[in-house]
Homo-oligomer: A and B are copies of this chain.
Amino acid sequence: MRAADLSEIRKLDLFQSMDEDHFAALMKAAYFQTFPTGMQLITEGDMADFLFVVVEGCVELFAATNGREATMAMVKPVGTFILAAVLKDAVYLMSARTCAKSRVLMIPSQNVRNAFVKDDSFARAIVSELASCYRAVVRDHKDHKLRTAVERLANRLIKYHTCQGETGSLTLPYDKKTLASLLGMTPENLSRAFGTLKPYGVEVDGAKVTLSDIKSLTTLAKPNPLIDVRKA
């Protein structure tokens, strides 16, 4: 592992306050690998062998049952995933695949649990990370139970717009198929949802979206700080 990567990982909230020796031991046990686009990293139902940290690229968490599949979340650098399964020593509830060439840190889950027991500071950092993840899923769940598809899209656009600097235009971070699944709809329906938003100043050209009437879009979307997060 490169020193630069190591120091970047060390900067993560999760590892930052950890004892130096414990951190070194954890990293020594860890694997640092680069995966091509479309590689499946884990499969739901498997035992949680590793905690994953996305250092570069992008990872999609998804779930499937009964022939259907849904994107549950996207993990961007620097973010962890599948922490709860590792801590409970249980099976993964979600699968993961890269959706770009990605560099990923894989820490054997037994080592994570050991460090968790030995290092109080690490244990507390984990609580914070876990609580954040929990709240993120709750927000997502509220989004789906309380809004229609068009509203979800509108709020998502506003969020991307905000994160990308409020320039009046934004770039969709994923292809439309993935975005549709993330928002809980079919690609066809996403297309139509974009159509529905045209009267509200939403113009789409590939991954580029321009918002020419943010006021009316916001009126439609009714963003709510208890559902929508400010960060990407």
Contacts and interface: CB of A to CB of B under 8 A. Distances in A.
Interface of A: 44-45, 63-66, 68-70, 72, 83-85, 87-88, 90-91, 93-94, 116-117, 120, 123-124, 126-128, 130-135, 137-142, 144-147, 184, 222, 224-227
Given A120-B123, A127-B127, A224-B65, A138 B139 contact: no
A42 B162 CA distance: 30
Given A63-B145, A66-B224, A127-B116, A137 B137 contact: yes
A69 B146 CA distance: 7
Most buried by B among A124, A134, A184, A227: A134
A127 B126 contact: yes
A-side interface mostly: helix
State the copy count for this chain.
Answer: 2
Contacts of A123: 120, 123-124, 127
Contacts of A117: 124
Given A135-B90, A137-B141, A138-B137, A226 B45 contact: yes
Nearest to A94: B138
Most buried by B among A83, A93, A126: A93
Given A72-B145, A127-B127, 5 more contacts: A66-B222, A70-B145, A88-B135, A93-B135, A127-B130
Ranked nearest first, the 3 interchain pairs of A and B with the lowest CB-CB distance are: A70-B145, A84-B131, A134-B134
Contacts of A70: 142, 145-146
A120 to B, nearest CB: 5
A58 to B, nearest CB: 20
A69 to B, nearest CB: 8
Nearest to A123: B123
A88 B132 contact: yes
